[in-house]
Every structure is written in structure tokens, then in C-alpha cells.
Amino acid sequence: MKTRNFWNVIVVALFVLALFTGCDNNHDNGDKGSKTLDRIEITTNPTKTTYWQGENLELAGLVVTAFYTDSTSQTVTSYTTNPQSNTPLNNTALNVVRISYTEGEITETVNLTITVTATSTLDTITLGNNTNIPVTRTAVTATQAHSALTLIADVYASLSAEDKEILDGEIVSITITASGADNATDGILTFAHNSATLKATLETYANTLKCTCTDNKYFDTDDIDLVTGEEKIEKCTGKNCTCIEIFGYVRMENSSGASLGRAPIVRDDFTGDMVTIVANIQTGYADLTGLNKNTISNKIAEVRVTTLTGANICVSDGAGKYIITFREDRTANQIRAIFMEWVSEGIIQ
């Protein structure tokens, strides 16, 4: 009997042990199979995070990812924001958008940093090397004006280097209007905030500022070609440049008579008849000896005629050539003698 009772006790004990072990296993399996929301993160910022005061909040491009306790994650879209998308941002003190996501009974949040700039801080715009170009607006909101200013700056940056150089310093003020054609005149740029023709307007304006020269006149660029006759000597700056008329050339040649180019003959403050003085300059050079010709050949950048009462002038143009100035009353022989004197004294080298 005692033996039977002993085995009965053993069986009951094993049964109870198995029962509790099974319960523990079931509990562990339940923990391993569950997951809960741990946090959310902004994995991609929206396209736009900086705003002018009054612009609407734009969340296009925003990507929010949820992370879970089991180390998994997924992109979520059923989040809410405060403020909501398309809300006007009138408060410049607002610098975050609060993003919330709820799953089950758990809600997690994250902040998106934004910048809202007061419209009163941009009453000017910078183009090229200019600073503080005043901007006014007519019948447009501040938001529209600032949007237009952004476009103006972008379009200005896309212009050619030549056009930007011409316009730089010429635009003195900008007025943004509600409608109407873009136009630019006398340094005042008027821009319709919804217009797409601004680049053409600026390019046209730049063209009106360029110094355009007719035949036998020229102005300076960075290129000087004395061989082809396309001499460009005086710098054309803005609307006030003056093209210089060419009255003749000095044909420079070596001792064998081979042409080495030619320099233009222009007049400075002399307003009289140029025919005689041009002939005298050409003859004076042609009568030089071979040695003097070889020294001067292809060295003269420009010959000027002036009423200067003092001595004649020979100065370097800084590029290895010379600007020669003769008094209007010099004869061919005097000009030849002056050339020879400059060579002998090393003024022309």
C-alpha cells in the first residue's frame, strides 16, 4: 500500500510540474510574438523648410518612419501635424511642426524644424556686386513680392557674364507689380510677379546699355586686334560710353616692308581737319630708317591727335604697346624726328 501511495504522489507531482512548465512556455511564446510602437523619426525632410511670413506650410517630400520594440520599422503616412499642411505661417516665432503618430494605444511625436522669416526683413535685394537695391511693390502681397525677388535673383544668376557685367551697377531699384509686362529703363526694373519673361527683359535691357559702334568707330573689350582693324581701345562702360571714330591707320612694317599690323589714328580734343595730320603721321612713320622701324614695328597700340600745347606724349598701355599722342601742328618731318627721338631715348623699346 505504501508503495502504491508513493507512486501516486510521484505521478501527481510530475503532472503538476508539467502543467506549470507548459504555462511558462506559453507565456514566453506570447512575449516573443508581440511588438509595440517605440518611436517615430523623420527620415526625409520635406522639400521646403524655409518660409516667408504668410506662406502656406508645405509638407511634400516628408517621410516619417515608425520603429518598434522588436527592432522592425516601417514608413507611415497616417500621422498628423500641428500646424496642418497648407496652414498660413503668419507667426515668425514658429520654428517647429509637431508630427504625431498613433498605433493602438501608443502615440509618439517628433518635431520638424522650420524657419519663418518676417517679410519686413527683405526690402532690398542684391544682384551681382550691388548691395541694397530698394524694392517696392504695387498691388501685390508681401509673399508674392518675395517670391518674385527669388525669381529675379535666380534669373540674374543665369545671365551671361557679359550681361551681368553690364547690368551690375545699373539696376538702381525694382518695383514688383500685380500684372503687366516686365520692363527695365533708366536703372529701374519693373517686374510682374507672375511673369515668365524676366530673363528676356534683363537681356534686352543689357543690350540697350551696350555701346554699339558703326563703321569706322570702335570701343574697347578685353580683346585688341591690331591686324584686322577691329581695334577696340576705349572701355565702353554702361550707357554713357562714347565710340571713337577712326580717321586712319599707321601701317606698321619691318625694314623689308612686310606688314606687322596697323594702329588706329583718332583724335582727342582736336576738332579740325584730320586729313593732313593723318597723312603726316603715316609719312613720318614711312620715312623712318630700317632700325627705327624694326624697333617700333607692331608696338603702337593707338595714335591720337590733340591740341596739346606741351610736349608730345608716348606712354605704355600696360600690355607691351604704346599710346602715341602728336600735336595737331606737327609736320611729317617733325613726326619722323619725334619717333626717332623716342626710339633713341628708349621710350619705345
299, 232: one domain: yes
Q: What three-state secondary structure class fits 163?
A: helix
Report yes or no: 119 and 54 within 8 Å, Cβ to Cβ: yes
**Average pLDDT of the chain, as a whole number:** 78
305, 330: one domain: yes
* Between 327 and 223, residue with greater pLDDT: 327
In a domain, 349, yes or no: no
Which whole number is the average pLDDT over 302-324?
Answer: 81
Boundary (domain end) residue, out of 160, 179, 209: 209
- For residue 183, what are the contacts with CB-CB under 8 A and spacing of at least 6? 189, 190, 201
Which whole number is the average pLDDT over 216-242?
Answer: 45
Q: What is the pLDDT of residues 116-175, one digit of tens each?
A: 876 544 567 888 777 678 888 777 777 788 888 888 888 888 888 878 877 877 788 888
271, 308: one domain: yes
Torsion, Cα 274 275 277 278, to 10 degrees, reads 100
Q: What three-state secondary structure class fits 341?
A: helix
96, 126: one domain: no
Q: Reply yes or no on whether the pLDDT at 222 is more than 50.
A: no
In a domain, 26, yes or no: no
Question: Distances in Å between the alpha carbon of 14 and those of 2, 28, 289, 314?
Answer: 19, 21, 133, 123
In a domain, 149, yes or no: yes
In a domain, 24, yes or no: no
Q: Reply yes or no on whether the pLDDT at 295 is more than 60.
A: yes
112, 127: one domain: no
335, 226: one domain: yes
Q: What three-state secondary structure class fits 142?
A: helix
Give the domain extent around 130.
122-209
Which whole number is the average pLDDT over 94-122?
Answer: 86
Has this prediction a pTM greater than 0.85?
A: no
Boundary (domain end) residue, out of 117, 141, 166: 117
Choose the weakest-confidence range: 175-179, 239-243, 318-322, 332-336.
Answer: 239-243
109, 156: one domain: no
pLDDT at residue 218 in the model: 52
Q: Which CATH number characterizes residue 82's domain?
A: 2.60.40.3630
Q: Reply yes or no on whether the pLDDT at 298 is more than 60.
A: yes
Choose the weakest-confidence range: 208-222, 246-260, 335-349.
Answer: 208-222
In a domain, 311, yes or no: yes
Q: Reply yes or no on whether the pLDDT at 322 is more than 80.
A: yes
In a domain, 275, yes or no: yes
204, 242: one domain: no
| Bridge-based pairing state of the strands 322-327 and 244-245 | unpaired
Q: Reply yes or no on whether the pLDDT at 233 is more than 50.
A: no
Residue 153's H or E segment, with its range, is helix 142-157
Q: Reply yes or no on whether the pLDDT at 16 is more than 90.
A: no
Q: Angle at which helices 275-286 and 332-344 pack, to 10 degrees?
A: 50
Report yes or no: 121 and 148 within 8 Å, Cβ to Cβ: no
Boundary (domain end) residue, out of 174, 209, 244: 209
Choose the weakest-confidence range: 90-99, 108-117, 233-242, 297-306.
Answer: 233-242
Query: Distance of alpha carbon 252 from its chain centroid, rounded?
Result: 43
Three cell numbers, residue 196: 515668365
55, 106: one domain: yes
156, 189: one domain: yes
Query: Distance of alpha carbon 27 from its chain centroid, rounded?
Result: 68
In a domain, 98, yes or no: yes
231, 337: one domain: yes
Choose the weakest-confidence range: 94-103, 201-210, 212-221.
Answer: 212-221
Q: Which CATH number characterizes residue 151's domain?
A: 3.30.2410
Give percent of the chain with pLDDT exceeding 70: 77
- Confidence band, pLDDT 50/70/90 cuts, at residue 332: very high
Q: Reply yes or no on whether the pLDDT at 78 is more than 70.
A: yes
In a domain, 8, yes or no: no
Of residues 302, 309, 308, 296, the one with CA closest to residue 345:
296
pLDDT at residue 13 in the model: 59
Q: What is d(CA 180, CA 197) in angstroms, rounded to the nearest whole number?
A: 11
Q: What three-state secondary structure class fits 145?
A: helix
Count of structural domains, the chain: 3
Q: Reply yes or no on whether the pLDDT at 98 is more than 80.
A: yes
191, 251: one domain: no
